[in-house]
Structure 1
């Protein structure tokens, strides 16, 4: 909870300040975009399973379809897809992220379409629950425009980094966009640092949550590059989109004309906005240029593959 300095300005300023922060609380905006995103993801998954049509297309090499009572919506054999979902060929056909088709097949639209696809029910549920818990709160605080921009650009950034480093597999999921929202939460806390109480505890908690989620990404079959790309894009976008006026600015509008008026934002916030915008433009530009030139990110970073998978005695990362 933020703390206010209300010593100057009297009752009128105090009422103005109270009204301002009530209006900027969790109840200022009604969240409708995030629920629409959830419905859209579920609807797309149903369409994917309908097209997949396991009873007709499964050749039986890996076993029979799972949940056959669902008809053509039944899942692929668990040996093929343990997440209760479609085949990889169906995901590929409907827009999964595949490096060769993006670069050499002129199908750049896959950088966006893959965000709306999921590998299975488990994958979908995990992402949609995260989206509800993270996204609704952000939309209530900052509105659908800024959260929508954050979600889409973060997902796009995650797709770019994933394509640069993972070029032999199909990647799908909203994880990059979700990590972008987490990154934006972190930058929002940093850029609005002075208006929060318990800021150190909040920062520690958020960093731990982010670290745990990124650590999960080093398991096999998890596209951690999409997570990292989405997180970095969201972090920088948060500095640009999630500024809050400083305490003291609202009540200063009601002070006498000859009184000193506080600035709406602090100087470090403006610096963060400029630096973040520059890094965003440079990052997206360099990433897209490298991608469409057919560059492999691993050629420029010999150790980066460990960010997505760490081999152990129980699994190998080249499978």
Structure 2
């Protein structure tokens, strides 16, 4: 990401009052320089470590050799991956992800497991999925945390992730969903709104804006591919965009708190901390956030399928072409066990295959069914 440099503006008065020299030696000067200091970044690396640890735990629970007939990288033992037909991202089975806290709308609505809206953010479908998201988190998160600190960026990340989960749950109700992509898109949205609300403080404004918009559009465009939850991306981006106006607002250049101005001196600094347009954006964004999250939660808990109210919205997550289909219906198979011979028939394409298994577990049958369909 390109973070434009801050303009260095000259004072409005070329001939300052005699007391200005004294004021320069006061805490006012420290107030002005404090904004240019960088925060120590520890939260973003902690998020990366937490995601990696969760993936390791998930793979340990998955234990492919015990629950599946075929595994990739068998030398890793219980940390080996599911077959590429079942999971091309080099990761665990869908049943393991579901067990670990993946977003499953039916469980959120029917079993009141609302915590899945948050836990799914810390899970990943495979090594490739994990690496892509953690690389983005390091590049975007560290820069933002340096500028705004761990509290604001941490809240931006988590709330955006929740926003992505909510929109995903409203539109994708037949499959489970995992990943930190919604939270990452929230950071991108926050960068865009931060540039807008602090517009007067930056140099190369138009170039920075166009660059950021192109990056966002490209990333959202990737979401129209099958098996990518673009609704989580869109929900996270919109949440982060609005949160940026609330959390990432900067005082305008030249403002200092009056408590730092020595008595008897005449302050030449800006009297108002924020510009009017910043305050307006702050209020509007906060209202939209509260209303949006409230409506989404109510709709979700009532079991509303948003696709019934928007017949074309599914194209935002997947656009069918001659090369792929957007059929997202969960796979199911008919099974027939005779001795050690297990015969599975895929319900969607009628493919049939016989496996040699004695007393197969439900997880094994589900994994073989995924490969077959």
TM-score computed with the length of structure 2 as normaliser: 0.80
**How far apart in 2 are the matches of 1:69 and 1:280?**
49
Aligned twin of 1:85: 91
1:24 to 22, 26, 35: 35
Structure 1 SS opposite 2:71: coil
Aligned twin of 2:311: 302
Given that 1:6 and 1:14 are in contact with CA atoms closer than 8 Å, whether structure 2 keeps it comes out as no
Change in CA separation of 1:39 and 1:12 when aligned onto 2, cut-off 3 Å: farther
Given that 2:160 and 2:239 are in contact with CA atoms closer than 8 Å, whether structure 1 keeps it comes out as yes
Aligned twin of 1:208: 214
Given that 1:246 and 1:264 are in contact with CA atoms closer than 8 Å, whether structure 2 keeps it comes out as yes
Q: How many correspondences in the alignment?
A: 314
| Structure 2 unaligned residues grouped into runs of 5+ | 329-373
Given that 2:197 and 2:249 are in contact with CA atoms closer than 8 Å, whether structure 1 keeps it comes out as yes
1:114-193 equivalent positions in 2, closer than 5 A? 114-193=120-199
**How far apart in 2 are the matches of 1:258 and 1:156?**
44
**Residue 2 (1) aligns with residue 13 (2):** no
Change in CA separation of 1:268 and 1:305 when aligned onto 2, cut-off 3 Å: same
Given that 2:28 and 2:261 are in contact with CA atoms closer than 8 Å, whether structure 1 keeps it comes out as no
1:23 deviation in Å? 2.8
**How far apart in 2 are the matches of 1:177 and 1:5?**
35
**Residue 40 (1) aligns with residue 44 (2):** no
1:258 deviation in Å? 6.9
1:257 deviation in Å? 3.1
1:70 to 62, 70, 76: 76
TM-score computed with the length of structure 1 as normaliser: 0.93
- 1:286-305 C-alpha deviation (Å, 9 max, x unpaired): 00000010000111111110
- 1:79-117 C-alpha deviation (Å, 9 max, x unpaired): 110000000000011100011111111111100000000
1:20 deviation in Å? 4.6
Structure 2 SS opposite 1:302: coil
User: Which is greater in Rg?
Assistant: 2
Given that 1:45 and 1:118 are in contact with CA atoms closer than 8 Å, whether structure 2 keeps it comes out as yes
Higher strand share: 2
**Residue 277 (1) aligns with residue 281 (2):** no
